[in-house]
Amino acid sequence: MNLDILLQQVAFIHEIDKLKYIQRKTRLFNSDRRENDAEHSWHLAVMAITLAEHSNEPIDILKVLKMLLIHDLVEIDSGDVFLYDTIVNHDNTEAERKAAERIFGLLPAKQAKEFVAIWEEFETGDTAEAMFAHSMDRFEPILQNVSNQGGTWTEHNVPYDTVMDKTSKIQHGSKTIWDFTETLIDDSVLKGYIKKPDQE
């Protein structure tokens, strides 16, 4: 029955509205206002269609979009984990897995399975699509931080090596974007937004 399927899908559409309340650490461009996960997911999706040509490998851009649109939904239950958090691991946790089962489980079974698989592929991160999607996820906060006099780097005093460790994954998705990112990071060091060990 189409209606039964539709009702399950509408329950999912209703539930995911909560993503609009999940606050990230990063702030909007040139702004004090924190970004929420729904805004973030939208921005990454537009970035992906805009920057697709810079992917290292040919990618199925539709799959990248699906990943980016749903990648943070688990945070409705498990909350946003700050990229530079030194205690909580950002990777696929048991809490996130349970959240995926609950939230995608609102959908009809076949679709739930499909969405969980897309989310898992993003989390595992080893396909061309997942690597490009991760590049977008790392690149946006860099642009935001640069526009906010260092943003979360300055606020949380994130050391240079940690910034490099977390952001250098961009190169797996796009060497072009990573080359550009390195110039932004170098410039942020010069401006004092990011401290190198010998500067501390």
Chain contacts with a second copy (rule: CB under 8 A): 2-3, 5-6, 9-10, 12-14, 16-17, 19-20, 28-29, 35-36, 38-39, 41-43, 45-47, 49-51, 53-54, 61-62, 65-66, 69-70, 107, 111, 140, 143, 147, 176-177, 179-180
- 133/56 Cα distance (integer angstroms): 12
Nearer to a second copy, 143 or 189 (CB): 143
- The least CB distance from residue 59 to a second copy, in Å, is 12
Nearer to a second copy, 111 or 168 (CB): 111
Nearer to a second copy, 33 or 198 (CB): 33
Amino acid at residue number 150: G
Residue 26: what are its φ and ψ, rounded to 5°?
Answer: -70, 155
Return the H-helix or E-strand segment holding 53.
Answer: none
| Residue 76 and residue 19 in contact, taking contact as beta carbons nearer than 8 Å | yes
CA distances from 52 to 47, 49, 72, 102 (A): 8, 5, 21, 32
- The least CB distance from residue 87 to a second copy, in Å, is 29
- The least CB distance from residue 149 to a second copy, in Å, is 15
- The least CB distance from residue 161 to a second copy, in Å, is 25
Nearer to a second copy, 127 or 162 (CB): 127
- The least CB distance from residue 65 to a second copy, in Å, is 5
- 84/156 Cα distance (integer angstroms): 9
Return the H-helix or E-strand segment holding 199.
Answer: none
Nearer to a second copy, 21 or 164 (CB): 21
Amino acid at residue number 56: N
C-alpha dihedral over 147, 152, 153, 158, to 10 degrees? -170
